[in-house]
Structure 1
Amino acid sequence: MPKRKPQVRIYVSEDVDKLLKIIAAVKEISVNALMNEAIEDYLNKPDVQQIIDKHRLDDLD
């Protein structure tokens, strides 16, 4: 059985919602996939990586 993926809920303005849906459609991916891509990009930023390393957050179980 596949591992359950936790759900994250966010609230955005109507303009951002429309923009995300259009970008996802142009890229031919789901909004979910687009958000996962954005989150991965954020987590890979050097300043965020410093926080992860400093607090050993990559070792979370």
Structure 2
Amino acid sequence: MSEKKELRGYVSPELNRLFRAVVALKDKNLSDTIAEALEDWLNKPENQELIKKHNLGK
């Protein structure tokens, strides 16, 4: 298992409530779901373009 780092941020109370509710309804792990959301965001074409442009790949 790879080392994991803590990431902090702030969201609105409504987004927090909805996210936690859906994660619980799907019986998923909160941290894994946040990581999945971040990966999806990073895979957007505009973000992939920046990653490639600045050689930020894995």
Which TM bucket (shorter chain)?
A: 0.7 to 0.9
SS state of the match for residue 4, structure 2? Answer: coil
Residue 42 (1) aligns with residue 41 (2): yes
Return the index of the structure with the highest Cα Rg: 1
Structure 1 stretches lacking a partner, 5+ long: none
The residue correspondences of 1:1-61 to structure 2 (distance < 5 A) are 2-58=1-57
Structure 2 stretches lacking a partner, 5+ long: none
What value does the CA root-mean-square deviation take over the aligned residues?
Answer: 1.4
TM-score, normalised via structure 1 length: 0.82
Q: Which moved more, 1:48-57 or 1:31-40?
A: 31-40
Aligned equivalents of 2:38, 2:16: Cα separation in 1: 16
TM-score, normalised via structure 2 length: 0.85
Q: Displacement, 1:3?
A: 4.1
